[in-house]
Structure 1
């Protein structure tokens, strides 16, 4: 969504001037600063284009009143930070906001067709118009990026001089670049670049080929414009690719999230956020008491025995990974394991305080109705809090199919905090029957079908990874694909049955050797967040009815028989029987970018009707 038009900067409520004399350019919602227009992303505002600046110095210029600190200890520990901050507001009365830098710098004039650096058009202050023609300038439609996250201008000089001997010296000819559209078609062939030095004009056709810039003898320059012009370029051996300025492949957020679960979910541990590193080194309650008295001047926020309990909870969440330090992936799985245990167990009234942010109870109805469906252990999550943090971002590759080496940093220096959003809502948690699941996932036809997706996904990750030795294993297993596809059809069904838009619901999968569950919860904190409608669907009777209805709906797709008989679909063949007409969801609702889906594992295929988990329901 493009931000609204820019508005005149107002003074504060007391008539004082803004804290910083920076021109306001549009506005975005706070959540978009994490998911859509985060650090390193391009933002179009009116006739101009900007890249969201890095976070160096943001801790000082973000107002504490408009960008408060939040805590989620388990996620802070995972990401190695002390706290999170909510992105600043973009209201007219805001003292500051997300800062941006002009990018790309190449603009063209639709009247005289000149293609220059923006500053060379002699625009009046605070305007983006051609100083000669007095019409709005148009930012370059094309940029280049590489899979290491670097971003750069499209090399128009080299492109138009490529037919000239010694074309690598383009830019020294003394001519002026021109950009025009022939208007004959909407293709790249109609966009023509020329130079007044007299070289033959060249269309943009072919500029998007993978080897287009390599053929010009150009490599990635390692530039990171979101971090500022004073930041030196990085060494990079990759070949950049041409992209449209508005391409979704140009910026993908790397988000990490955690649910607030006991004993951390009442907020009582928040005052100790900056002290856990020291406290973890102490085993003696006496030493902990002395430290707390020194740190808080006698006004200790928690009794020593409660601090000891929290430290023990941290130790229980530490992953066991041999003698080596556990990777981020191992620690994230350990975080999920703990959530799974808490969702299974719930919390009774004796565990709650007035500030408790996690309420999970067993439904009152008879769960026998769920037995024939292979579903067990439903839990009503009447209150939950999720913190989603922006760890980094990627370009050209999806976050879940890249290694950490391909993640672009949000700042030049080390950060003790990250931007994040907190979501409060409700949800329904359910598990698959373990005995039945063990028999089903060992069936040869199930294993063979999932292996095709796993191999395609593994191959795709290998192709995209800069270091093939660091490619993580694909998460595709029979239980994972089953849970993932079931979560999708349930979200689609609840969007019809309970009146929730599909984009307001989100899945959280727990698939592993000892886990086989899913949480479907409200993904927004607005009016669709916590009205109780989703929790009501978790009672056994309505849950059984919804599952049966969802399975019957999934047994037929408007794209059948092409969909159900598909040998591969999705990116790189990572889906089988799955398309936008049956099980795919809005990307904000899916943990895995709509890959690793196969409704045949739910309902079977015409050739193997007994393949599906729910095949007995369909007769």
Structure 2
């Protein structure tokens, strides 16, 4: 519900297709609210709620709506809205021939998140009659497959007015625009009457199950001190009541008497004064200036939240309570096995908690930093004050790079030239996507933030995840990366990402020991130094979506989508171990 089938996404259940309804239809009672003050402030909401799960037969949890509305019958070939088939209640069956119905395979969507049924009527009549056809007379559509080929040429739509057209060319970028078919601004996940007028985006044809039909915009934060501490967790259920007391400017004596009777203190060593100060600290966070979700950087890896986490991960925690959600310590130094060359610091994160929220989603094009603010789709008709989220607990290893060595390496001409190939491709992609929402002057100012440092840390994260999935016993899909990259940061956190106790088995945190980090890094570099797709993999001029990868494929460094922060782009093995024409340009093979 957060990463795969969230609000606005389509899901096939049995022989029917549905779309997940907006948050204002979810049955949420607030009893299981998820607490993460930093992320709440960052996203401007009052809290998070886990997706509700209701036991049958009530089914009163997350609501869905029938979509697409067009269905077809394989027996009589009728193509029309589901409600016109006369299907018996609770079934998906043609009322005339009693055969199963099939939801339309095709939908149309635009980059602004709007979604609609494929315009079969317009497709047939505008392709066959330049003047168009009137809808006042009866037009019954039918769907036929000639079976001659596996292409869309064999899928033919026929009308009772004797016109017909195949779906060949329907997936062209401007196929619908060339016929004068415009986006109607429909938002079926919000119900009828939720259309947005005036959408100028070009609609595109998509398959119903296409990954391009729904791209989630997920935001996440680690619980770090003081918000990860036991005291803050204990006051959370009582926070609104205590905050109200402070707003009413009651004296400290009155507030502490209320605290004594609130149920916060029993079973703890906290004093009323400590509780009162913790409430004030959280109140100050809420009253502070709301940070920009994207900061001044285009990547979340350089955001204010990441900078706060970077500091806590770098220096660790001195004292930890058993109930705390964050424990990070430096491994004991080993004179016989110092840190590998190029690594500045390694930290063992014995306990961590991450909250992941679904902020919004996009369609057709994946969310990108330059245009995402203009393309976010609404997740409810009106503001709800909360977002759906989950919390995951686990363990991990945090490491930073040697800043002096990194600076010397990333300023080398051959490194910059190779990194700029991806940077230039990314700039071109950002400018192309911004053409629909920005003027020519604004487009010229758009520049990719991709740097050699980012490519290095991202590819290193993928290499270590693949290596540790073999050594620590976790499948690669159960490990995640979290990047910390800016002019002052060069860090990487690899951690387990499971919502149950399997995230705390200790297999990953042990990899942070000096000896193990040396061995695993050496093994990872050996593993990525050769790919079964070489030499094409290493020597390719461009790879991945929009040419945003170089030496990277599924045989070497690509990961399951759930493990990567940016959908397996901005990767290049040459940043680690050098290119075929120059081995010395790699960070870990360089003599710099």
**TM-score normalised by structure 2 residue count:** 0.90
For 1:580 and 1:538, the matched residues in 2 are separated by 26
Whether the 8 Å CA contact 2:313–2:347 is kept in 1: the answer is: yes
Q: Which residue of 2 aligns with 1:330?
A: 295
Q: Which residue of 1 aligns with 2:409?
A: 440
1:245 pairs, out of 208, 221, 246, with 208
**1:372 CA displacement:** 4.2
Q: Which residue of 1 aligns with 2:546?
A: 572
* Per-residue Cα deviation, 1:542-584 (whole angstroms, up to 9, x for no partner): 1110000000111111111111111111111111111111111
For 1:280 and 1:328, the matched residues in 2 are separated by 28
For 2:243 and 2:448, the matched residues in 1 are separated by 33
For 1:507 and 1:121, the matched residues in 2 are separated by 49
Q: Which residue of 1 aligns with 2:357?
A: 389
SS at match of 2:549: coil
**1:309 CA displacement:** 6.0
For 2:195 and 2:257, the matched residues in 1 are separated by 43
Please tell me whether residue 268 in structure 1 is matched to residue 268 in structure 2: no
SS at match of 1:219: coil
Q: Which residue of 1 aligns with 2:20?
A: 52
**1:591 CA displacement:** 0.5
**1:365 CA displacement:** 4.0
The one of the two structures with greater contact order (alpha-carbon pairs below 8 A, sep at least 6) is 2
Which one is further off, 114-123 or 262-271? 262-271
The aligned length equals 572
SS at match of 1:541: helix
Q: 1:305 to 1:232 in 2, by over 3 A?
A: same
For 2:352 and 2:217, the matched residues in 1 are separated by 22
**1:447 CA displacement:** 1.5
Please tell me whether residue 477 in structure 1 is matched to residue 445 in structure 2: no
- The gaps in structure 2 that reach 5 residues or longer are 265-270
SS at match of 1:449: helix
Cα root mean square deviation, aligned = 2.8
* Per-residue Cα deviation, 1:205-233 (whole angstroms, up to 9, x for no partner): 00111111111111100000000013243
SS at match of 2:23: coil
2:199 pairs, out of 219, 224, 236, with 236
Whether the 8 Å CA contact 1:251–1:393 is kept in 2: the answer is: yes
For 1:515 and 1:280, the matched residues in 2 are separated by 38
For 1:486 and 1:128, the matched residues in 2 are separated by 50
Q: 1:57 to 1:243 in 2, by over 3 A?
A: closer
For 1:447 and 1:463, the matched residues in 2 are separated by 24
Q: Which residue of 2 aligns with 1:29?
A: none
Please tell me whether residue 497 in structure 1 is matched to residue 471 in structure 2: yes
Whether the 8 Å CA contact 1:603–1:611 is kept in 2: the answer is: yes
Q: Which residue of 1 aligns with 2:267?
A: none
For 2:131 and 2:500, the matched residues in 1 are separated by 56
Q: 1:38 to 1:297 in 2, by over 3 A?
A: same
For 1:78 and 1:277, the matched residues in 2 are separated by 20
Q: Which residue of 1 aligns with 2:309?
A: 339
Alignment of 1:115-154 (within 5 A): 115-154=79-118
Whether the 8 Å CA contact 1:62–1:96 is kept in 2: the answer is: no
Q: Which residue of 2 aligns with 1:374?
A: 342
For 1:420 and 1:268, the matched residues in 2 are separated by 20
2:429 pairs, out of 439, 446, 460, with 460
Q: 1:62 to 1:553 in 2, by over 3 A?
A: same
Alignment of 1:194-343 (within 5 A): 194-199=158-163, 201-265=164-228, 266=230, 267-271=233-237, 274=240, 289=252, 299=262, 303=272, 308=277, 326-330=291-295, 333-343=303-313
* Per-residue Cα deviation, 1:487-530 (whole angstroms, up to 9, x for no partner): 00000111122221110000000011111110000011346411
* Per-residue Cα deviation, 1:305-349 (whole angstroms, up to 9, x for no partner): 5555676689799999xxxx8532118611110100000111123
For 2:575 and 2:293, the matched residues in 1 are separated by 31
Q: 1:390 to 1:316 in 2, by over 3 A?
A: closer
Q: Which residue of 2 aligns with 1:586?
A: 560
For 1:95 and 1:111, the matched residues in 2 are separated by 32
* Per-residue Cα deviation, 1:437-492 (whole angstroms, up to 9, x for no partner): 11111111111211221121122122223433388753311211111000000001
For 2:113 and 2:251, the matched residues in 1 are separated by 44
